[in-house]
């Protein structure tokens, strides 16, 4: 898979660990000259005579002067991350040493790698397909259990396997169509029309399932936004602090304390939730700043994935509850109702409180009932079995391609129904294969690759 981007003969270097001081830093060199160049700087064994997948300890020399004691990991083509000769130098993590090593290697005619170029080479050398390469960046960026899991699944080829199966089905399909073309002169009804219909249905189902997984994929990637809404003094900021287990938002007995929204993240069962504390909603205020806060709260409420509506139980009645629910329903938002300050009521008063499926009682101050709230937040927003091994599509580019595939499949299905000629069907199938190929990168343009890999870290 030759590409104009790919300069087959040049050797590149980059710092693979985060810049700055650390215990150890890793510098990667990949390409035809990688081993020879590092060999010239290394005072230990002759690296060019060593087999791949070996480690070597020795001094890295700046001329006659020892610069640092390092460990060399040696990989030989094709058994390396990039598929090329690859040397990793583990040095002491001083930024000065890192810079000196990078300088020495560049002085041997090696250039600095661009972001993602190691992975790009791995892709161009057929070590992984494009979907897998993109998952490498996702894995590095993963910040929760769910994002880590989804990225690892794709990086290890889970998604690619599903795409390959789709592709095989499509090829089967086109073979059947060709067969039909061969028989078109004879007056036989094609025996396997049912088989064709079955196949196209299977293809559509898989595509739809993958597309549907993106709803969850989006949740995994971006997190779920939760707006905490309610009247002034209901205890919204206290609840935010309790959920975060820190004093993040200002709390006071003065109604109208929160003026601007406060956002913080919380992790429930490996999913990221963005909690938004808002100014209490009071529509009769004459304070201009507070009024602005209220407008903002309403905006946050409308754009959130879930609204947690807080009510002080001391003011809670069946009637007020109904009114709140009616208003939330009119806003068409997904919501949970929380009766706060339960500690203020006697057990008999508590027993007399209205109950509803959507209603949770707790004390934000005493931090009781928080587990039930977290559980409800999770189950209201994240559906399906996250711990399963199913592919979850998290990448917008893949979604766009899958949508086009779905559209093209629809054309094929329609063509079958209306009985369009086989050669036209074959064209539609080619378009299906094209969209599939764009995900795995069998069909990829240089600019597109450049764009995808430019978003990677340097050294990966
Ligand atoms: N007894 C009791 N008091 C609480 C509880 N939660 C909050 N409070 C008190 O209620 C008052 C208001 O709390 P805040 O968290 O500032 O309320 P808020 O909804 O953020 O208020 P605004 O930002 O003004 O809209 C404070 O004095 C809190 O200590 C609770 O569970 N029990
Ligand atoms: Mg507040």
pLDDT tens for the 460 residues of the chain, in order: 444 445 567 999 999 999 999 999 999 999 999 999 999 999 989 999 999 999 999 999 999 999 999 999 999 999 999 999 999 999 999 999 999 999 999 999 999 999 999 999 999 999 999 999 999 999 999 988 889 999 999 999 999 999 999 899 888 888 878 777 776 666 555 546 777 888 889 999 999 999 989 988 888 888 899 999 999 999 999 999 999 998 888 898 888 888 888 899 999 988 899 999 998 887 555 666 666 777 788 888 899 999 999 999 999 999 989 989 998 999 899 999 999 999 999 999 999 999 888 899 999 999 999 999 999 999 888 865 455 668 889 999 999 999 999 999 999 999 888 888 878 888 888 899 999 999 999 887 888 888 889 888 888 8
What's the order of all strands across the beta sheet hosting 335-340?
Answer: 262-268, 271-277, 224-230, 306-312, 335-340, 359-361
Question: How much is the pLDDT for 454?
Answer: 87
CA of 252 to the centre of ligand 1 (A): 6
* Integer angstrom CA distances of residue 372 from 60, 129, 362, 376: 58, 43, 9, 6
Neighbouring residues of 221: CB distance < 8 A, sequence distance ≥ 6: 147, 394
Q: Report the C-alpha gap between 415 and 60 in whole angstroms.
A: 67
Q: Report the C-alpha gap between 64 and 75 in whole angstroms.
A: 27
Question: How much is the pLDDT for 117?
Answer: 94
Among the atoms of ligand 1, which is closest to the Cα of residue 259? 23
Sequence spans of domains, the chain: 12-128, 140-219+395-441, 226-381
Question: How much is the pLDDT for 285?
Answer: 57
Ligand nearest to the CA of 236: 1
SS3 414: helix
Domain 140-219+395-441 shares a fold with domain 226-381: no
Give the closest residue (by CA) to ligand 1 atom 7. 235
Closest CA to 228 of 237, 220, 216, 219: 237
Neighbouring residues of 119: CB distance < 8 A, sequence distance ≥ 6: 81, 128, 133, 136, 137, 453, 456, 460
What is the CATH topology of the domain spanning 12-128? Answer: Gyrase A; domain 2 (3.30.1360)
Which residues form the pocket of ligand 1, taking CB atoms under 6 Å from any ligand atom? 230, 232-238, 251-253, 255-258, 279-280, 340-341, 343-344, 363-365
CA of 382 to the centre of ligand 2 (A): 27
CA of 339 to the centre of ligand 2 (A): 16
Question: For the CA atoms of 436, 440, 442, 444, what is the dihedral angle to 10 degrees?
Answer: 100
Ligand nearest to the CA of 230: 1
Closest CA to 240 of 292, 310, 296, 291: 310
Q: Report the C-alpha gap between 128 and 130 in whole angstroms.
A: 7
Question: How much is the pLDDT for 357?
Answer: 83
Among the atoms of ligand 1, which is closest to the Cα of residue 363? 31
Any alpha helices (H) in 116-263, and if so which ranges? 117-124, 130-141, 145-155, 158-182, 193-222, 236-244
Among the atoms of ligand 1, which is closest to the Cα of residue 234? 19
CA of 314 to the centre of ligand 2 (A): 18
Neighbouring residues of 269: CB distance < 8 A, sequence distance ≥ 6: 145, 378, 382, 386
Residue from 238, 278, 315 whose mutation best tests the ligand 1 pocket (most atoms within 8 A of CB): 238
Closest CA to 152 of 385, 437, 391: 391
Contact (Cβ atoms closer than 8 angstroms) between residue 294 and residue 321: no
Question: How much is the pLDDT for 248?
Answer: 85
Q: Report the C-alpha gap between 16 and 302 in whole angstroms.
A: 43
- Tokens representing residue 298 in the block: 């309403």
Crossing angle for the helix pair 396-418 and 422-440, to the nearest 10 degrees = 170
CB neighbour class for 296 (10 Å; exposed up to 12, middle 13-18, buried from 19): middle
Question: How much is the pLDDT for 374?
Answer: 95
Among the atoms of ligand 1, which is closest to the Cα of residue 254? 24
Among the atoms of ligand 1, which is closest to the Cα of residue 280? 25
Q: Report the C-alpha gap between 204 and 414 in whole angstroms.
A: 12
- Tokens representing residue 167 in the block: 């592709």
Q: Which residues surround ligand 2, an ion (CB under 5 A)?
A: 236-237, 257-258
Superfamily of domain 226-381: P-loop containing nucleotide triphosphate hydrolases (3.40.50.300)
Give the count of beta carbons closer than 10 Å to the beta carbon of residue 108: 15
Does domain 140-219+395-441 match CATH 3.40.718.10? no
């Amino acid at each position: 898979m030759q590409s104009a981007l790919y300069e087959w003969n040049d050797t590149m270097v980059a710092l693979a660990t985060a810049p700055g001081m650390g215990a150890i830093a890793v510098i990667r060199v990949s390409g035809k000259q990688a081993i020879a160049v590092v060999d010239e700087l290394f005072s230990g064994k002759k690296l060019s005579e060593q087999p791949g997948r070996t480690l070597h300890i020795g001094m890295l020399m700046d001329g006659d002067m020892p610069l640092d004691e390092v460990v060399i990991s040696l990989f030989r083509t094709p058994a390396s991350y990039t598929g090329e000769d690859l040397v990793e130098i583990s040095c002491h993590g001083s930024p000065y040493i890192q810079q000196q090593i990078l300088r020495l290697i560049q002085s041997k005619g090696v250039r600095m790698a661009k972001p993602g170029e190691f992975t790009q080479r791995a892709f161009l050398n057929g070590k992984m397909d494009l979907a897998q390469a993109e998952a490498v960046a996702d894995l590095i960026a993963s910040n929760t259990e769910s994002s880590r899991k989804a990225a690892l699944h794709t990086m290890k080829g889970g998604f690619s396997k599903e795409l390959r199966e789709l592709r095989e089905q499509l090829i089967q399909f086109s073979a059947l169509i060709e067969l039909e073309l061969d028989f078109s002169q004879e007056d036989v009804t094609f025996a396997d029309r049912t088989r064709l219909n079955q196949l196209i249905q299977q293809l559509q189902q898989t595509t739809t399932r993958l597309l549907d997984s993106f709803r969850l994929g989006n949740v995994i990637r971006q997190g779920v936004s939760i707006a905490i809404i309610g009247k002034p003094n209901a205890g919204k900021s206290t609840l935010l602090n309790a959920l975060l287990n820190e004093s993040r938002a200002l709390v006071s007995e003065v109604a109208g304390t929160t003026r601007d929204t406060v956002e913080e993240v919380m992790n429930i069962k490996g999913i990221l939730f963005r909690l938004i504390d808002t100014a209490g909603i009071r529509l009769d205020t004459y304070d201009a700043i507070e009024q602005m806060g209220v407008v903002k709260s309403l905006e946050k409420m409308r754009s959130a994935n879930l609204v947690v509506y807080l009510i002080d139980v001391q003011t809670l009645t069946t009637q007020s509850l109904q009114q709140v629910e009616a208003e939330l329903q009119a806003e068409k938002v997904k919501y949970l109702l929380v009766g706060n300050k339960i500690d203020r009521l006697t057990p008999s008063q508590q027993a007399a409180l209205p109950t509803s499926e959507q209603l949770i009682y707790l004390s934000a101050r005493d931090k009781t009932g928080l587990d039930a709230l977290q559980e409800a937040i999770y189950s209201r927003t994240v559906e399906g079995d996250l711990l399963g091994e199913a592919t979850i599509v998290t990448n917008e580019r893949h979604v766009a391609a899958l949508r086009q595939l779905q559209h093209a499949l629809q054309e094929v299905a329609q063509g079958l129904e209306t009985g369009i000629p086989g050669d036209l069907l074959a064209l539609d199938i080619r378009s299906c294969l094209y969209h599939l190929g764009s995900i795995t990168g069998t069909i990829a343009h240089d600019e597109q690759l450049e764009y995808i890999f430019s978003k990677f870290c340097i050294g990966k």
